Structure 1
Amino acid sequence: MLRHPARALVPATLTLVLLAGCGAGDWSRPHDGPVAVGALAPGFLEPGESPTPEATIAPEAGSWDGITPREGYRVVLLTRGDDEPTQALVTAVRDWAEAEDVDLRVLEPQTPADLVPTIVEAVGMGADLVVSAGNDLVDPLAVVSASHLDQQFLVVGAEIAEPTVNVTAVDWTGASYRGTGADAASAYDPATFTAQRCAAAVRAGVGAVLGGVTGIVVWVD
């Protein structure tokens, strides 16, 4: 079991569920081939569309279903918050990881002072992708991500105000928090964090990263 002193990841029984069957391997060694299987469908982008960093795209529903991660794809889930929206996102990431045989590891900072150090810790783990779930992580992620351009980040159910090319976000009407002092694209509505929408958001966001469409906001209304 993965352990991090002075920081509880998740309850022990849940940690076992997250790691079991996910091909936990040696993250210090590079993959022996591409990490993506398949491709995005044409409906993910408009014909001739080449989104610039910080742009928002609205792909056709399911246009991301044709691209998946290879077995053993390495993901760190960063999560903070016991609220229902955050827990719905965590469940969606966990279910996706289990379905796709992803090697998932979880970090949960316990205090505000832990936020930035925990993100830095995630970067140092050698993941293919760091996924963020919880509004508390948005501002700290903006601080760290710009200094680690070789690490891909995915923010689900929120976005950072000025993302670099390595930060992709998935949002919808009701889930567009952009950090302290930043205007959101819509009013926050916890009721919009349904299991179906969170699951679609995870797959759409991962699909964008695997397809090389990064640094943008994927809108999944």
Structure 2
Amino acid sequence: MHNCALCSIHACNKGELDKAPKNCPSLDENIEDMKEIYKEEENYRIAKASALVVSKGYCEKTRLEEIMDFANRCEYKNIGIAFCIGLANEAKMLSKILKYNGFTVNSIICKNGSISKEFIDIKSNAPMCNPIGQAELLNKAKTDLNILLGLCVGHDSLFIKYSEAPITIFAVKDRVLAHNPLGAIYQAESYYKDKLFPEN
């Protein structure tokens, strides 16, 4: 069992594995095998590009700028956007920015197909979200990189499961916290304590 989130040493980040706890994943016997996977062409390209994006734009570039930098370094030209209807305005601006910067953009809304929620045994007049459809339509468009924008929890899981292209996240949905889910973490020991650590 690994508990990196509770580790106070982080020997992996300091290169001091002699100080690592016994259950440190850095001591796993398969690390060398894992390193070999990075030698596969696409994995190598993604790993190198992402490392360069971090080192070249650290604390200077926004995530949007980093996504474009990453795409350019990987030579990804056909970009897919899978977005929630609740962030349609944001998707429109994102699409405009990407197109202006030389990318081909295919965007698919969550309500594509207009499938009734009765299909999944829910009584509602509103159509269900169709993340599998978003993934399949972007697969059909042969996108090089797909960007997730505000898909609901679970819908994002299905999209990730069926997307053939690599995926990056631009923004996640949190209707309560203005799409900033870390707000709950920052308030976990104060205003949100009773919500997140309810007494039995």
Q: TM-score, structure 1 length as denominator? A: 0.40
Structure with bigger RCO (C-alpha 8 Å, 6+ apart) = 1
Higher fraction of strand: 1
Higher fraction of helix: 2
Q: TM-score, structure 2 length as denominator? A: 0.43
Which of 1 and 2 has greater Rg? 2
